[in-house]
Chains A and B, each alone.
Chain A
Amino acid sequence: MRIAIDTGGTFTDCVYEDRGRLQVLKIPSTPADPGEAVLRAVEQIAGEQAAEVRHGTTVGTNALLERKGARVAFVTTAGFEDTIAIGRQARPRLYDLFFTKEPPLASEELRFGVKERTACDGSIVEEAAEGDLAQLKRRVAAAGPEAIAVSLLFSFANPANERAVVDALRDLGVPVSASHEILPEFREYERGSTVLINAYLAPKMQRYLERLNRACEAQRSTLHVMQSSGGIVPAAVAAREPVRTILSGPAGGVVGAIAVAKAAGFERILTFDMGGTSTDVALVNSAAGLRTTKESQILGMPVAVPMLDIHTVGAGGGSLASFDRGGALKVGPESAGADPGPICYGQGEHPTVTDANLLLGRLEAEWFLGGGMKLDESRTHERFAEAKGTLASVEAFAEGIVRLADSHIEKALRRISVEQGYDPRDFVLVSFGGAGPVHACALARALRIPVVMVPRSPGALSAYGILVSDVVRDFSRTVMLRPDNPALAEHLTRLEAAGTRAMEAEGLRSVAQRSVDLRYAGQGFELPVEWSADFVEQFHRLHEQRYGYADRERPVEVVNVRVRMVARTRFLPNELSQPGDGNPSRAFLRTKPIFCDGQWQNGAVYDRSRLQTGDRFSGPAVVVEYSATTFVPPEGQVSVDRHGNLIIEVGA
């Protein structure tokens, strides 16, 4: 039995396979100790049975965002102790005289230098003296760290000096994260930041995962954890390299979207996941596999391990609307959050996007969370009437809020598509998250995307993604070689051997995917291409597609070699939906006024759980279900596909 469990802020979502069928279970999260809900779910689903448990966790993300990780000592080459704090010397906001920078995870008294040096070609310029190492150990011990991060200059070119430092610190009895193991790639700030975050999260994640793992082992179950790259790893690996799991949940959503879209016959998709405070978007061509980036940032700190390329914008259902001093409307990035929440939840005082949707008839007051929560429409109307300023009506105010929220998200979708050289018209918009399907059709029309897909159980898509993802481990190293250098192939072979050993140790049979990062000599950035006989030509072509030109005369250099080890997971199709007669009237709940295009129009409300394959209807309509609401504008044509997905032609 295979179980995926995804911890969310309010609910812990589970998707599992039971005798060939997929089941969904939602249980309340236990924020004080998220493991409690996870173990309860395992018990409820598997009972005494052994299970393959897969977990999407926010323990690392939250520890980082709330800065509640370990006290970490950061050790580097003497003379470079502040690299981790200086960063790239730029400020986050241009026109703010009061800008601040997120303080580094290791404060000044926890940053240590060792007198040693390796050159860029890997030659050792100076070894660390025995006496210096002994002294370093005393100084670090005196600072009382709970974890240690070590990242020396050019340790990826030759780890000898770094190993000596790690050995000297090993018996202090706290976890040590070494840069040549976590991320043997060049750029000292990005590497140092990644290793420091790893050490910062290590003690907490180790405690958390060890406890879950023990409980699982007691039942002969196994535990795997979702990584930000879209692949899963055994719990022991995640405990050692927690930096790879910080976007566990959102990665599950993208993998889930790819899986359901592929089953529905769509390969090129834009994912649109809108929650309470923010929205995640990503562009995927599932034929080409998962697209990862090593340029992600969290709290302004670089995380250079491969992560799915997910772009986040501060607009969600809870985003607050107000007027600025010049009289223009603005929406977000401030959010009403869960407390006090939108006006319609009963506590909030200020208009939010969710409130606006309710007043426009695009949400159902009685059906929110399956009727578990009644939305207060009259309270919302009153507050909107007070806050609408010079606007003619409450409806105009509400419609304006929604339009503006949409324009922020449209910008984010443009950034990942148009700005990267992709035409949105070639994509399908896959919408999930609690607030996504209300906005999806308007966004699709604005970007001329012809089709929107709302998967079944859009609230549990992330858990489904975790259930179907492959076991993936990434290995890399900076080599800085010309492409014709025979050492290149040797480096790849060595990496692959190490990868194969690591996978075999977990009892996994895997395939290796080799790739190299290339650039024109002298450039400051590189592009990944698959390792093949004509990889240099592939690079020219990719460069041309991405940047508009190629220069075949110019020398090329290989910056990094990469090996991705993949152990495939048996694919579980999202369950087929029951075929119906094409007539959605069995799911029809009532008629109600919906505000579209500046006027009230009569629309239908449908119960998603009673829709069947082949059903067709047109907008204006609202489709309600437990975890989300879909709004279909007047131009929209809905059909239910064989997996129960809503496929909406938006008339773009």
Chain B
Amino acid sequence: MREGHDPIELAVFKSALHSVAEEMGAALRRTAFSPNIKERRDYSSAVFDGSGQVIAMGDDMPVHLGSMPMSVQAILGKLQLERGDVAILNDPYDGGTHLPDITLAMPVFVGENSTASFYAANRAHHADVGGMYPGSMGLCREIWQEGIRIPPVKLVAGGSVNRAVLDLILNNVRTPREREGDLTAQIGACRIGVQRVTELVEKYGLERVTKNVTALLDHSEELMRVELERLPEGQFEAEDFLDNDGITDDRVGIRVRVTTSPKLRQATVDFSASDEQISGSLNAVLAITYSAVFYVLRCLLPEEAAPTAGLMRPVKVITRPETVVDARPPAAVAGGNVETSQRIVDVLLRAFAQVLPDRIPAASSGTMSNLTVGGIDPRTGQPYAYYETIAGGSGGRANGPGVSGVHTHMTNSLNTPVEALEYAYPFRVRQYVYRKHSGGAGKYPGGDGLVREIELLAPAQVTILSDRRIFPPYGLQGGAEGAKGRNTITENGRLRELPGKCNIHAGAGAVVRIETPGGGGWGRV
């Protein structure tokens, strides 16, 4: 606690600002068009101070946590926002993460002030942003194949939508009506955020709000520093691999060196030794890597720690450009968000496990096992596209076994009920169970993965983007590895193994089976 901060005011403002972010999220969920935002809740909301530091975030998607601030920074660097403006962007190389994630930000002006005092922003995953494949999540080699790239521009100027910008975007996507609906919802959510922050300023006065925002950032910083002070001094290295990039068979190494300085109460996280950027779409931009670091450190803090920019003040993240953890144009990046982000977390946890053996679980499944199926539904004659991520096992940890069949780390999206799936698509789900004995053995075994088996009742295009099919989730403190994932297809009675990343055509009656990895075990048996 620094001098002059009032512990009560601090707590009340923390709660009030969090409430603003949550209200923005609720408005977005309520008004969005697409199931991915409404149902799977693939969005985030946040409030920033005038210099673009995040001061509150909703309890949304962890992968957005550390990367949202870069969007606002990019906007501040490029645009001069006036009252009633809303900025938009999705370019991973200019404040974004991957193209489907579109971020909007709106300034809060107080009284006659000419500079913005706060910003309200939100990010949502759009179901399609153009490019080679429906859903914009396929196996591409360059960013231009992945969809439309939007640099920071004003989508709304002085309160009116800039129709030219909107039309340019809508002309480049497969489902323009749905996109327009979702973007409108994002604009509405920004306005609600701005209104609620304005109300806070009216109630307490700008000076008092600003003072408490400073206190809140300092408080987050202090919580992190207290934690860093407890770590032993030293350097801890770890590495792990992505199976391949989906184009070549080469494994992709991610390496980290964590340097702790408890006396200075700070730490450095250095990914420079990671592999060069790759041909496929699993490259992560710096924002993703930063997000993964933010996530892991946030997990080391108590539940009530507010995820503000203050948390990262004592932490330095170092990367080398043109590597898989700091991709540069024209690398394709769609999968960096969903797959590489998980591996970066695995590597970081592995490093921290050397210093905090009791506080770090063994590796979780480490992949989102993305499954996309598209075709024509014979019942209606209409095209359909199904997308889902399939959970795996979480790693064993010092308090007990891992959890089976659960989303971990950078995602937390829901599954689709079997009965909903069969109403919506020409499928018959044949099995949805735990994948027995897939969790690694140990004093506390890893959680089991899942088996999802889907029979296609009509011919379809199947795309799988999954990892941990070659390199299994690691065990810790003597625990065994979790089982690798496995993808197969059975056609005309013949079972065939599928690679971790593939795009195939399958006939009616084909059965696609995804077995997700189990978590690693913790401790010797």
Q: Which residues of chain A have a CB within 8 Å of any CB of chain B?
A: 79-83, 85-86, 88-91, 93-101, 117, 119-120, 125, 153-154, 186-190, 323-331, 389-391, 396, 399-400, 403-404, 407-408, 410-411, 414-415, 418-419, 421, 480, 522-525, 546-549
Contacts and interface: CB of A to CB of B under 8 A. Distances in A.
B31 interface: yes
B30 interface: yes
A257 B310 CA distance: 45
B10 interface: yes
Contacts of A120: 419, 422-423
Interface in B407-466: 407-408, 412-420, 422-424, 428, 430-434, 450, 453
Contacts of B188: 548
Given A98-B399, A547-B31, A524 B39 contact: yes
Contact of A328 (B184, B219, B403, B407): B219
B22 to A, nearest CB: 8
Given A82-B432, A97-B360, A324-B302, A91 B403 contact: yes
A390 B7 contact: yes
Contacts of B62: 94-95
A411 B19 contact: yes
A189 B428 CA distance: 17
Interface residues on B, range: 35 or more
B408 to A, nearest CB: 7
A407 B419 contact: no
Most buried by A among B59, B184, B407, B432: B432
B361 interface: yes
A527 B357 CA distance: 49
Nearest to B433: A82
Contact of B407 (A90, A117, A418, A421): A90
26 contacts: A79-B433, A80-B418, A81-B433, A86-B405, A89-B391, A90-B407, A90-B412, A94-B412, A95-B298, A97-B397, A154-B419, A188-B417, A188-B418, A188-B419, A325-B226, A328-B10, A328-B219, A330-B304, A390-B1, A404-B11, A414-B19, A414-B23, A480-B423, A524-B420, A547-B31, A548-B188
Contact of B7 (A119, A389, A408): A389
Nearest to B223: A326
A99 B10 CA distance: 27
Contacts of A325: 222-223, 226, 302
A586 to B, nearest CB: 39
A327 B219 contact: yes
Which 6 interchain pairs have the tightest Cβ spacing?
A327-B1, A400-B8, A548-B31, A79-B431, A419-B26, A524-B39
Given A82-B405, A328-B219, A88 B415 contact: yes
A98 to B, nearest CB: 5
Contact of A97 (B5, B16, B359, B391): B359
B186 interface: no
Contacts of B299: 95-97
A328 B14 contact: yes
B419 A391 contact: no
A92 B481 CA distance: 25
Contact of A91 (B8, B19, B406, B453): B406
Interface of B: 1, 5, 7-8, 10-12, 14-16, 19, 22-23, 26-27, 30-31, 33, 35, 38-39, 59, 62, 181, 184-185, 188, 219-220, 222-223, 226, 295, 298-299, 301-305, 307, 359-361, 390-391, 394, 397-400, 403-408, 412-420, 422-424, 428, 430-434, 450, 453
B64 to A, nearest CB: 11
A98 B30 contact: no
Contacts of B390: 89
A158 to B, nearest CB: 13
Nearest to B300: A97
Given A94-B62, A419-B23, A547-B30, A327 B11 contact: no
B200 to A, nearest CB: 12
Contacts of B5: 327
Contacts of B420: 186-187, 524
Most buried by B among A79, A86, A324: A324
A526 to B, nearest CB: 11
Nearest to A397: B8
Contacts of A125: 428
B419 A403 contact: no
A82 B14 CA distance: 40
A548 to B, nearest CB: 4
Nearest to B226: A325
A116 to B, nearest CB: 13
B405 A421 contact: no
A93 B407 CA distance: 11
A82 B15 contact: no
A330 B407 contact: no
A188 B417 CA distance: 7
B427 to A, nearest CB: 10
Given A97-B359, A326-B219, A419-B23, A86 B419 contact: no
Given A86-B434, A119-B428, A324 B304 contact: yes
A314 B423 CA distance: 38
A101 B181 CA distance: 36
Nearest to A113: B433
A212 to B, nearest CB: 38
Contacts of A85: 404-405, 434
Contacts of A80: 418, 431-433
Nearest to B218: A326
Contact of B361 (A97, A101, A117, A480): A97
Nearest to B364: A97
Nearest to A554: B177
A620 to B, nearest CB: 21
A414 B196 CA distance: 12
Contacts of B360: 97
A390 B3 CA distance: 10
A98 B414 CA distance: 20
A79 B432 contact: yes
Given A85-B434, A523-B35, A407 B16 contact: yes
B182 to A, nearest CB: 11
Given A404-B12, A548-B30, A86 B432 contact: yes
Contacts of B408: 91
The residue in A83, A153, A329, A414 that gathers the most chain B C-beta atoms within 10 A of its C-beta is: A329
A340 B397 CA distance: 32
Contacts of A93: 303
A400 B7 contact: yes
Q: Name, among B15, B181, B299, B407, the residue most crowded by chain A CB atoms within 10 Å (CB to CB).
A: B15
Contact of B11 (A328, A396, A525, A549): A328
A326 B1 contact: yes
B433 to A, nearest CB: 4
A82 B419 contact: no
A124 to B, nearest CB: 13
A211 to B, nearest CB: 39
Nearest to B301: A95
Given A328-B7, A411-B15, A90 B413 contact: yes
Contacts of A523: 35, 38
Contacts of B7: 323, 327-329, 389-391, 400
Contacts of A99: 403
Nearest to A389: B7
A83 B12 CA distance: 41
A522 B62 CA distance: 27
A96 B299 CA distance: 6
A415 B29 CA distance: 13
Contacts of B23: 414, 418-419
Contacts of B39: 524-525
Contact of A89 (B19, B33, B414): B414
Contacts of A94: 59, 62, 412
Given A91-B412, A327-B1, 18 more contacts: A86-B404, A86-B432, A89-B414, A93-B303, A95-B62, A95-B303, A119-B422, A119-B428, A186-B423, A187-B420, A190-B417, A324-B305, A326-B1, A327-B5, A328-B1, A404-B11, A410-B19, A549-B33
